[in-house]
Amino acid sequence: MKLEHTAFNVADPKGVAAWYEQNLGMKVVRRNDAPPYMHFLADDSGSVLIEIYNKPPDQVPDYASMDPLIFHLAFVSTDPTADKKRLLEAGARFVDETHTDAGDHLVMVRDPWGHALQLCRRKKSMLSGS
């Protein structure tokens, strides 16, 4: 089986989708402009999807208060330092930066809604075809 998407309940799916398109290179491939405002967003390869929606509204997790290692979206970045700077200028908030013993460079930021985003430059890609 192949993974199609990962979904999460957010307070502002329209705003998150727009910000992810403008700043993370994602593209909305399907949306519903009525409640629950679900948006399916594809990465630049078109083979990885996330779904964001708002249902039920009273059960949106408090992502901003969670340790980012509990839940985060990880993106391949060829230059985490430059991407960090660009995302901070777009309203993200810096959390952490790590250079691992394995040679990876990882930057954790939070989008304007508090969702954790990890920018990953791996010494050796873990994705097939990369």
Checking DSSP bridges between strand 49-53 and strand 105-110, what pairing results, if any?
Answer: unpaired
Cβ atoms < 10 Å from Cβ of 54: 19
Query: Measuring CA to CA, which residue among 1, 2, 26 is closest to residue 13?
Result: 26
Domains detected in the chain: 1-57 (3.30.720.120), 67-124 (3.10.180.10)
Say whether 38 sits in a helix, a strand or coil. Answer: coil
pTM score, two decimals? Answer: 0.94
Is residue 28 a contact partner of residue 21, using CB atoms and an 8 Å limit? yes
Q: What does the pLDDT profile of the chain (130 residues) look like in tens digits?
A: 989 999 999 999 999 999 999 999 999 999 999 999 999 999 999 999 999 999 998 999 999 999 999 999 999 999 999 999 999 999 999 999 999 999 999 999 999 999 999 999 999 888 876 5
Q: Which amino acid is at 101?
A: D
Q: CA-to-CA distance for 130 and 48, rounded, in angstroms?
A: 14
